[in-house]
Amino acid sequence: MSYTFTIQLFAGLSERFGQTFLQLIADHAELTVHELKLKLAEHYPEQQSALRASFLARNHAYAADSDTVHHQDELALLPPVSGGEDTELGDDYLHESDGPYLISSLPLSPQQTEESIIVPEHGAALSFIGTTREWTAGQRTVLLEYQAYVPMALKSMRQIGDEISDRWPGTRCAIAHRIGSVPVGEISVVIAVSAPHRDTCYEASRYAIERLKQIVPIWKKEIWEDGSEWKGHQQGPWNPLSEQK
């Protein structure tokens, strides 16, 4: 008997493979992540480097190489994240939230994000706003395009909020990320944090930003006047399973 594993692809991976998902036929209903990636490498030897740099997600959570996946699991192969958006939207729009965590193809409102974290018992609030920069290393950016694995991205944002609450009890966090095309000067991400005191607020805000870059499955494509490129994790080897220091 054979079993079919279906693996979703995102961002640069879907472009590399020329499709949005892969299907792998195996003799067993369960495989380790390592075994699954080896089988994919056998089928797509020209993509071995991309497969090695990617992580498998199982049911909206990152899976280690030693973890076991079932053919009925929701599986996705994720390239290094950059901190950012959803699939091709056309004339439609996407606007999904999980409490104070939001992914939307609509322009973001920093004020709306801040309103969910400002409470009477807190004396400090900070907002980080990320926008599309026109020039990088002498190269002119026309716009950015963001893509996200939306259900897992929202789950990962909530994980960041939970981690912040554990490290700095009582601290509140809200994150909003835009997907689709974000022209120069427009907002791509808003991270708002509040706490009783400013020192905690600064620390928690920095933590949220760095953690978002590390674990939230959002990717950005830089579009220039003469080309484009998907940008992933640029701070050494990507490991979303490692803890933030």
As a whole number, the mean pLDDT across the chain is: 91
The boundaries of every CATH 3.90.1170.40 domain in the chain are 95-231
Q: Which residues of 81-102 are buried (b: 16+ CB within 10 A; e: fewer)?
A: bbbbbbbeeeeeebebeeebbb
Q: Rounded CA gap, 60 and 148, in Å? A: 12
Q: Is 24 exposed, middle or buried (0-12, 13-18, 19+ CB in 10 A)?
A: middle
- Calculate what percentage of the chain has a pLDDT beyond 90: 79
User: What pLDDT score was predicted for residue 232?
Assistant: 66
Mean pLDDT of 40-65: 94
pLDDT digits (tens, 9 = 90+) for 79-109: 988 643 333 333 356 889 999 999 999 999 9
Q: Provide the pLDDT confidence category of residue 130 given band limits of 50, 70 and 90.
A: very high
User: What pLDDT score was predicted for residue 136?
Assistant: 84
User: Closest by alpha carbon to 89, among 216, 188, 178, 189?
Assistant: 178
Q: Is 217 exposed, middle or buried (0-12, 13-18, 19+ CB in 10 A)?
A: buried
User: What pLDDT score was predicted for residue 213?
Assistant: 93
CA distances from 212 to 42, 123, 224 (A): 33, 25, 25
Q: Rounded CA gap, 169 and 195, in Å? A: 9
User: What pLDDT score was predicted for residue 90?
Assistant: 39
Which range, of 77-91, 133-147, 230-244, averages the lowest pLDDT? 77-91
Give the architecture-level CATH label for domain 95-231: Alpha-Beta Complex (3.90)
Mode of pairing for the β-strands spanning 139-148 and 135-136 = antiparallel
CA distances from 185 to 29, 95, 129, 188 (A): 49, 21, 11, 9
Correct CATH for 3-78 of 1.10.490.10, 3.10.20.30, 1.10.645.10, 3.30.70.60: 3.10.20.30
The boundaries of every CATH 3.10.20.30 domain in the chain are 3-78
Q: Which pair of structure tokens corresponds to residue 55? A: 């992580």
User: What pLDDT score was predicted for residue 84?
Assistant: 36
User: What pLDDT score was predicted for residue 72?
Assistant: 98
pLDDT digits (tens, 9 = 90+) for 53-87: 899 999 999 999 999 999 999 999 999 886 433 33
